[in-house]
Amino acid sequence: MTAPTQRALDTAQRWLDAEPDRDISEELAELIERRDPSLDERFAGRLQFGTAGLRAAVGAGSMRMNRLVVRQAAAGLARHLLATDGRAAERGVVVGRDSRRKSDLFAADTARVLAAAGIRVHLFDQVVPTPVLAWSITGLDAAAGVMVTASHNPPADNGYKVYLDSGAQIVPPHDEWISTAIGEIDPFDVLLASEDDPLITHLGTDLVEAYLDSVPAVRLRPDVAPVTVAYTAMHGVGGEVLVAAFERSGLGPPAVVEEQFEPDGTFPTVPFPNPEEPGAMDLVMALAERVGARLAIANDPDADRVGAAIPTRDGGWRRLGGDEIGWLLADHILRHTDGDDRLVVTTLVSSSMLASIAADHGVHSVETFTGFKWIAHTVAAHPSQRFVFGYEQALGYLVTDRPLDKDGITAAVLLAEVAALAEAEGTDLEGRLEALAERYGRHLMVERSVRMDPADGSAAVARLRAVPPESVAGVSVVSVEEYPEASLLRLVLDGGIRVQVRPSGTEPKVKIYGEGVGVDPTGAVEAVIDLLG
């Protein structure tokens, strides 16, 4: 194996001298001692804001998540806020965290860096769901928010989401401006205030309670009697808040998967804590069957997403796709609201059925880039229209206008109402989906991913964009649409199938999305995978 460059060794030694955590210091010292070639990659640059902020494995190096990286990011954010908001110091920044490795230290360091820059900090003392953090930003009229979380990433990871004062995640050019400011900061020379600095206000549970008080308003048919729901927090931070949200919304407490209820950043029962992953919802589906539930739901670890499973008429259970949940929520919301000023929003890679449902109800529908931050951006860009629903197929849903970010708790409450109303009307969620297919066509969705190094994945998609195929799986390509802002290529095939491909913004993979109305897109998706090489 090739030894690391001298530049990497020199940088690693400087990093080691400044590293505040013993476990990271020991890891780095060992890498330096054995001249580990991974040092080149670990110090190849610095983490950049992706689809959802910074994310990487916790470890030594500027390309990993550690306290030096977090301090540099916080200092860059402080510099940006002070330069662009004349009241930033007074308005402050809200800081929250999940239960992953070092989340408490990352949040505390963020608060200390911001306070050292003269910025007021509202620091949650306890773990909180991401939606509570985002909701609190506007409640406090803060200049920004920071959530320390890696969401549904593997257990080894952690991350850093930054929010605007609207409660929405950062979009260009804000992410570029903040990234530039971060790049101007020396990670070895970041000022820290004391932990008891008077600029740091420790938040108790008041804002959590205020958020919970707001949740019942998302219900559109509060008169409907609840049905039994099974729930798992998937070792994340949403459990207590979701149970309280159900009770305050008149839905009663769900049956919970006890072994996955308490926050645990090691995720002992799910190696990949994502409700989309095969097997991740097995425990909650088993519980749902035992208790006779009509719906099984799962939050991801920071509770901004919600997955669901339903009983089938052959006696089994199946997980719903993200689009299916979106169709159910959209249909329910548009049937129980009114006004031709209503707006629904989804993303490029989500199903086209939402546009058909919107047209049927005479409301506005917009398709935007991948990543929920773009849904929020679209809402803000249409002030004359009344936003009522937004979703992305990756289990992200927004059923209210605050916060302007996906919320797996309020979405779960409304989905439970959908199940309850179906029961009251003599059907179930499977019946609801059948009715939608009969009305709007049977939309068949197929999603695949290919694990690739981020650079290789981006290059593969770029090659396909440069020379798109004339046919896929023997079917002519009738239209090629490029969305360079999203690094996405859409191929529309003769017969109505569409296939889309893009590199992931948060994971080392390329994602491929297929949709066919009345026709299976699987063959076309697999053919595009072959084209990626």
One DSSP character per residue, 75-123 reads: HHHHHHHHHH-TTHHHH-EEEEE-SSTTHHHHHHHHHHHHHHTT--EEE
Which DSSP letter does residue 50 get? B
Query: pLDDT at residue 51 above 70?
Result: no
Residue 148 has pLDDT above 70, yes or no: yes
What is the phi-psi region of residue 185: left when phi exceeds 0, alpha when psi lies from -120 to 50, beta otherwise? beta
Q: Tell me the mean pLDDT in the region 35-58.
A: 89
Domains and CATH numbers, the chain: 1-44 (no CATH), 48-204 (3.40.120.10), 212-440 (3.40.120.10), 443-531 (3.30.310.50)
Instruction: Determine the Cα–Cα distance for residues 265 and 267; give it in Å rounded to an integer.
Output: 5
For the whole prediction, is pTM greater than 0.85?
yes
| Residue 91 to residue 102: CA distance in whole angstroms | 27
Six token digits for residue 210:
């205020």
Q: Which tens digits make up the pLDDT trace of 309-320?
A: 999 999 999 999
Chain Cα centroid distance, residue 27:
30
Residue 219 CA to residue 156 CA, distance in Å, equals 37
Neighbours of 209 (CB within 10 A): 12
Is the pLDDT confidence value at 467 over 80? yes
Is the predicted pLDDT of residue 49 greater than 80, yes or no? no
Q: pLDDT (tens digit, 9 = 90+) per residue, 497-517?
A: 999 999 987 678 999 999 999
Catalytic residues: 151
Tell me which of 13-17, 51-55, 413-417 is least confident. Answer: 51-55
Distance separating alpha carbons of residues 443 and 2, to the nearest angstrom: 51
Tokens of 34: 């054995």
Q: What is the pLDDT of residue 48?
A: 85
- The pLDDT, as a whole number, for residue 50 is 67
pLDDT at residue 1, as a whole number: 62
